[in-house]
Amino acid sequence: MTAEARVLKRPSVWARVAGLGSIYGKTVRDSRRAALVVGGVAALFMIGTGAPYGFAPEFSTFELRRAFIAGLTALPPALRGLLGEPINLETMGGFLSWRVGNTLPIVLGLWPVLALSGTLAGEAAKGSLDLLAATPQSRRTIALEKLAGHVTMVVFAMLILATTIWVVGAAFGSLPGD
């Protein structure tokens, strides 16, 4: 009996870019649902805040917007502290920034940290990280490809959000009296 030595063939450049047969690809596949959910929730925040700005009767004329903004700036300092200082609320960009601009960066900043640590902890608990560490890949390569996969999916989620912000701005950004 002879045993033939199997030589591991590295994936081609295009396969690596697509993420096939690599740690990067597995990380992207494992993170795609979470990225879609986070991007979708952030997009819903923007749509839920921007659409009423375009449809609400409080914003139909410049004078009504001024009266609405005067009511918002008359809030007690404790409530204004939660939402931040209202700046340029006459425009949709200022209104979105005031309403969503304080909470969304915190949520979108925590998600990558929790996702990456959760992925690593989950793989360590299942034992697949030990299996991965036993391959000829260096630990540095494993860590860098995991990080690159997560950064790719964070960029994907932010592209969903950026596209939604652009669509909301194009659809509802122009009001009567502007």
Quote the pLDDT of residue 16: 65
Q: Which tens digit of pLDDT belongs to each residue from 8-18? A: 677 677 776 66
Quote the pLDDT of residue 155: 94
Quote the pLDDT of residue 78: 80
Stretches where the chain sits below pLDDT 70 are 1-3, 5, 8, 11, 16-20, 176-178
154: closest CA among 103, 101, 111? 111
The two tokens of residue 28 are 């992207």
Q: For helices 139-172 and 92-100, what crossing angle results, to 10°?
A: 130
Distance of CA 164 to the CA centre of its chain: 12
Q: Is 127 left (phi over 0), alpha (psi -120 to 50) or beta?
A: left
Quote the pLDDT of residue 67: 86
CA distances, 157 to each of 36, 126, 148, 173 (Å): 6, 27, 14, 23
Measure the CA–CA gap between 86 and 133, rounded to whole angstroms: 51
Measure the CA–CA gap between 60 and 3, rounded to whole angstroms: 80
35: closest CA among 122, 115, 110, 140? 115
